[in-house]
């Protein structure tokens, strides 16, 4: 019953609007000049002209006409209010008509109201049947054009050869499919003679696309940023990077986010729009990387001797590169202590940066302690926030700890890279622009 209420209300409203009382309406006056004298011959001429017109028009079978002194009176009924109002327009255009009294009512008979609708439906059905061959040819032509476009998009060699990576190749394939669909639609409408409808469709699609664009603005921004990152390739899989304050190994670049694995094994997802706008620090672009730390030595005595002790300690580490070699320099003197800066280079393919730096710091401190040099606790400064390897108390000789890659993190990274169904837009062979 609740479903019928809207239909009943609409029907009652239509009846109220379509069937007003017509007998009390004032006569409609025309713009024609009123003659001083008229005769029966003039009224007869007007009557015959109006009756002839109504006989040629459908829907006025139950309308009668009377003319007296140039005043036309319509009585009877018609099937809708539109035909009812048209009577005045017909009579007002005939020469000699002074006024029009429209007493025609809108018929509420079921048969009279349904019959015109059935006639219109029958005519439209006949027109559709006559246009069916043209419609089939138009649809088949559009489908053929679309099918050819989709077949071209499924090819591999042209797109993989043109595009820098698989992601861009897939974007090109999607554009080819879109162009194929639009071309098929244009051809179909052109064969059917409804090409003007294409402008309306494209306009509606443009408005809809604009609304959707505002709704998914962040998604679109991330998608465009993923294309730009895929083209520029600022990093590769397994690269150690720092983006927007987050540091970790790159495992995937999706259409929405860049995924990192931190040194703790956690996964970090950074939106591509943020990645594209942020400063990207890539620690793995070059295999050689320098670490440094500061040591404050109170009452160092011979500054050159203290510097030589620290320099020899760095040289004794097998993970420190000989070319470029380590270096130590006096950076500051304050409060009776000399501050030295120690720096050395390592090969990141053979050791990890935090462990190498921590081990170098341990070896240098032990060398100073063996030489009788004590460190200022408040002056011991770590220039980069990295965890150092633990030192062994009372150790007399340098001990080189295991500086191999952290196996646990390496396994997590490989699992992320080789995960089934996980697509990435990165190419391990890609290079920065």
Say if 233 falls within a structural domain: no
Residue 392 is predicted with a pLDDT of 43
Say if 430 falls within a structural domain: no
Say if 395 falls within a structural domain: yes
Evaluate if residue 416 carries a pLDDT over 50: yes
- In the three-class reduction of DSSP (H, G, I as helix; E, B as strand; rest coil), residue 69 is classed as coil
pLDDT in tens, 162-196: 766 666 777 788 888 888 888 888 888 888 877 77
309 shares its domain with 359 = yes
Phi, psi for residue 93 in degrees, rounded to 5: -90, -5
Residue 390 is predicted with a pLDDT of 40
Say if 230 falls within a structural domain: no
Residue 17 is predicted with a pLDDT of 52
Domain C-terminal end among 215, 234, 249: 215
Residue 394 is predicted with a pLDDT of 42
d(CA 304, CA 313): 14
Instruction: Report the number of distinct structural domains present in the chain.
Output: 3
Greater confidence (229 vs 109) lies with 229
Residue 270 is predicted with a pLDDT of 92
CATH number of 91's domain: 3.30.1340.30
100 shares its domain with 120 = no
pLDDT in tens, 81-91: 888 888 888 88
- Burial class from Cβ neighbours inside 10 Å (0-12, 13-18, 19+) for residue 409 reads middle
375 shares its domain with 293 = yes
DSSP character for 394?
Answer: T
- In the three-class reduction of DSSP (H, G, I as helix; E, B as strand; rest coil), residue 338 is classed as strand
Query: Which of 273-282, 334-343, 389-398 has the weakest average pLDDT?
Result: 389-398
Say if 329 falls within a structural domain: yes
Evaluate if residue 421 carries a pLDDT over 70: no
Question: How sure is the predictor about 343, in pLDDT bands with cuts at 50, 70 and 90?
Answer: very high
Evaluate if residue 354 carries a pLDDT over 90: no
71 shares its domain with 129 = no
Evaluate if residue 311 carries a pLDDT over 80: yes
97 shares its domain with 148 = no
Evaluate if residue 379 carries a pLDDT over 60: no
Give the pLDDT mean for 89-106.
86
Angstrom distances, CA of residue 128 to CA of 29, 80, 131, 214, 281: 44, 26, 5, 40, 66
Say if 418 falls within a structural domain: no
315 shares its domain with 397 = yes
d(CA 340, CA 295): 5
pLDDT in tens, 201-250: 777 777 777 777 676 677 788 888 888 888 788 888 888 899 988 989 89
Question: How sure is the predictor about 423, in pLDDT bands with cuts at 50, 70 and 90?
Answer: low
Say if 16 falls within a structural domain: no
d(CA 241, CA 248): 6
The whole model's pTM is what? Answer: 0.51
Question: How sure is the predictor about 400, in pLDDT bands with cuts at 50, 70 and 90?
Answer: very low
Evaluate if residue 402 carries a pLDDT over 80: no
Say if 306 falls within a structural domain: yes
CATH number of 331's domain: 3.30.70.100
Kindly provide the b/e burial profile for residues 146-173, where b requires at least 16 CB atoms within 10 angstroms of the residue's own CB: beebeeebeeeeebeeebebbbbbbbbb
Residue 78 is predicted with a pLDDT of 86
Q: What residue numbers bound the domain in which 396 lies? A: 288-402
pLDDT in tens, 54-63: 888 877 888 8
Kind and range of the H or E run holding 258: strand 257-261
Domain C-terminal end among 108, 127, 149: 108
């Amino acid at each position: 019953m609740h479903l019928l209420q809207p239909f009943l209300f609409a029907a009652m409203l239509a009846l109220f609007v379509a069937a007003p009382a017509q007998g009390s309406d004032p006569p409609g006056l025309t713009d024609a000049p009123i003659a001083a004298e008229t005769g029966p011959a003039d009224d007869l001429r007007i009557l015959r002209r109006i009756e002839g017109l109504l006989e040629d028009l459908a829907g006025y079978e139950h309308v009668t006409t009377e003319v007296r002194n140039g005043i036309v009176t319509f009585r009877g009924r018609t099937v809708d209010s539109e035909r009812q109002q048209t009577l005045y327009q017909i009579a007002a255009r005939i020469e000699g008509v002074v006024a029009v009294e429209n007493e025609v009512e809108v018929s509420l008979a079921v048969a009279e109201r349904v019959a015109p609708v059935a006639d219109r439906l029958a005519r439209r059905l006949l027109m559709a049947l006559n246009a069916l061959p043209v419609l089939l040819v138009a649809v088949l032509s559009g489908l053929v054009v679309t099918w050819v476009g989709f077949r071209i998009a499924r090819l591999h060699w042209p797109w993989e050869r043109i595009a820098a990576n698989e992601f861009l190749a897939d974007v090109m394939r999607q554009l080819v499919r879109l162009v194929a669909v639009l071309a098929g639609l244009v051809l179909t409408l052109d064969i059917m003679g409804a090409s003007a409808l294409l402008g309306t469709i494209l306009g509606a699609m443009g408005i809809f696309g604009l609304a959707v664009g505002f709704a998914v603005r962040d998604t679109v921004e991330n998608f465009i940023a993923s294309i730009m990152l895929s083209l520029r390739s600022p990093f590769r899989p397994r690269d150690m990077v720092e983006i927007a304050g987050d540091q970790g190994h790159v495992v995937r670049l999706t259409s929405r986010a860049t995924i990192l694995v931190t040194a703790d094994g956690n996964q970090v997802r950074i939106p591509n729009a943020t990645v594209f706008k942020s400063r990207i620090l890539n620690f793995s672009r070059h295999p050689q990387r320098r670490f440094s730390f500061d040591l404050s030595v109170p009452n160092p005595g011979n500054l050159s001797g203290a510097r030589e002790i620290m320099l020899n300690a760095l040289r004794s580490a097998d993970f420190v590169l000989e070319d470029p070699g380590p270096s130590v320099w006096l950076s500051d003197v304050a409060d009776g202590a000399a501050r030295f800066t120690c720096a050395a280079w390592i090969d990141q393919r053979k050791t990890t940066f935090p462990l190498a730096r921590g081990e170098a710091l341990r070896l240098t401190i032990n060398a100073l302690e063996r030489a009788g040099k004590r460190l200022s606790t408040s002056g011991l400064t770590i220039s980069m926030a990295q965890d150092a390897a633990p030192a062994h108390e009372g150790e007399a000789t340098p001990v080189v700890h295991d500086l191999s890659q952290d196996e646990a993190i390496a396994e997590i990274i490989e699992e992320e890279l080789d995960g089934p169904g996980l697509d990435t837009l990165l190419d391990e062979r890609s290079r920065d622009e």
